[in-house]
Structure 1
Amino acid sequence: MAERPRGGLPDARAPVSTEVVACGALAGHVRDIAARRGWPVAVRSLPALLHNRPQKITESAERAVVCALRSGRAVALAYADCGSYGGLDDLCARYRVRRLPGLHCYDVLAGPERVAAMFAAEPGTYVLTDFLLRSFGRAVLAELGLDTHPELWPDYFGHYRRLVWLAQQPTPALAEQAERVAAMFGLPLTRVEVGVSRLEQELARLVEGIL
């Protein structure tokens, strides 16, 4: 039997028998981690904009899970609960698959205790991630209609008191974007370096158990 490489890209000869159904906000990190670890997995990215309509997350994830299972692949869900209010847990129970722990991807990136403490200190915290910073114009401004109706800003964001950026792989460009977003809110910005190590640890628990 061919030995799986210890790092880098998976062996092209290794059959892909596992699929990770991932939130689009995490899919890039998931692919990078899988390549670095040499996991022979396929990553199916679902639209990150589903977070604006979380009631549709379970429905979309179920279609992807069923498709993967019918193709004979084992499946893992790179989602936390993500506003599904237990819908993804019900999905996991029905199809005997597992998801990432936590209520939100913030819990996966920073740890639930850290996130809980952050909101306890200031309930009016708006959380940014690298992905949200990159897509803020489309995912937030355009989706909420704020690009054409900026007068609605207080209705959506008037109750926030600060911004916290959970920085995974910060760059000068992302830092500048974070400052621009903070200026839109007119609120102070705190940058918290979280990296991707916790995501990698939790993803490994999912994937390595079914490879």
Structure 2
Amino acid sequence: MSLPSSDILTHEGAAPDGNGRVLILACGALAREIAALIRLNDWHHMDLACLPAILHNHPDRIPGAVGEAVEHHRATYDRIFVAYGDCGTAGTLAGTCDDLGVEMIPAPHCYAFFEGTETFQSRSAHEFTAFYLTDFLARQFDAFVIRPLGLDRHPELRDAYFGHYTKLVYLAQTEDPDLTDHAREAAFRLGLDFERRLTGYGDLGPALARQA
């Protein structure tokens, strides 16, 4: 399997002596947030490489793509950290990371680590009819929800996909009125109640800080 062609590597700066470099290998849906944390904390020895976020539509492909990317970049870095949760891989990604000797975020998915995994899991027993958005998904709702599900062509499928949901919960990483409007509009289009929670970066910041 070849590395996805849209895999990108953005250098935020290396350590002055060229040693101690850390690569954050991340889902493209986290690119803005991780880049912001790198800048905010002056982690000049960290670089960021992102795999396409659309891999989430085929989670069985994530472990292989991550594994190939780790091997592709391993010789250049002292350490690689995988900024993915399990993301629907049923533990396969964690096994891949163990085999490669790299760490990953200990969370089921980005909704959990943005809200705080313990908090998210404590809510799950009574919030199983919620559909979640992050800043990324609020921004890319058509590209990652509407069009892949065919709702742009067949809006009558809405009930088949979302008939058992009751509300859309927007887990906001930033105070952005435009994104809040996008998320509220998404809830309206899906016929769901709307709730917004400002989470910030949640567990993502501490996870990266431990690598720094």
TM bucket normalised to smaller = 0.7 to 0.9
Partner deviation per Cα, 1:129-154 (whole Å, 9 max, x = no partner): 11000000111111122111212221
Alpha-carbon deviation of 1:98? 0.2
Alignment equivalent of 1:131, drawn from 104, 114, 136? 136
1:15 matched to 2:18? The reply is yes
Q: Given the two structures, how large is their TM-score scaled by the length of structure 2?
A: 0.87
Measure how far apart 1:14 and its partner are: 5.0
Instruction: Give unmatched runs, 5+ long, in structure 1.
Output: 1-8
Structure-2 residue corresponding to 1:159 = 164
**Aligned-partner Cα distance in 2 for 1:14–1:42:** 15
Distance between the aligned counterparts of 2:60 and 2:148, measured in 1?
Answer: 16
The equivalent position to 2:35 in structure 1, one of 10, 31, 34, is 31
Q: Following TM superposition, where does structure 1 have runs of at least 4 consecutive aligned residues deviating by more than 6 angstroms?
A: none
Task: Please give the secondary structure, in 1, of the residue aligned with 2:203.
Answer: helix
For structure 2, the residue ranges without an aligned partner over 5 or more in a row are: 1-11
Aligned-residue CA RMSD in angstroms? Answer: 1.7
Moved more, 145-154 or 132-141: 145-154
Count how many residue pairs are aligned between Structure 1 and Structure 2. Answer: 199
Partner of 2:48: 43
Once the two structures are superposed, residues 164-191 of structure 1 have per-residue CA deviations (whole angstroms, 9 ceiling, x without a partner) of 1111103110111111011112111111
Deviations 1:102-129 (A, max 9, x none): 1111121111222123322231110111
Classify 1:12/1:202 alpha carbon distance in 2 versus 1 (closer, same or farther; 3 Å). closer
Q: 2:68 aligns with which of 49, 63, 67?
A: 63
Note closer, same or farther for the CA distance 1:33–1:116 as it changes in structure 2 (3 Å cut). same
TM-score between both structures, scaled by the size of structure 1: 0.88
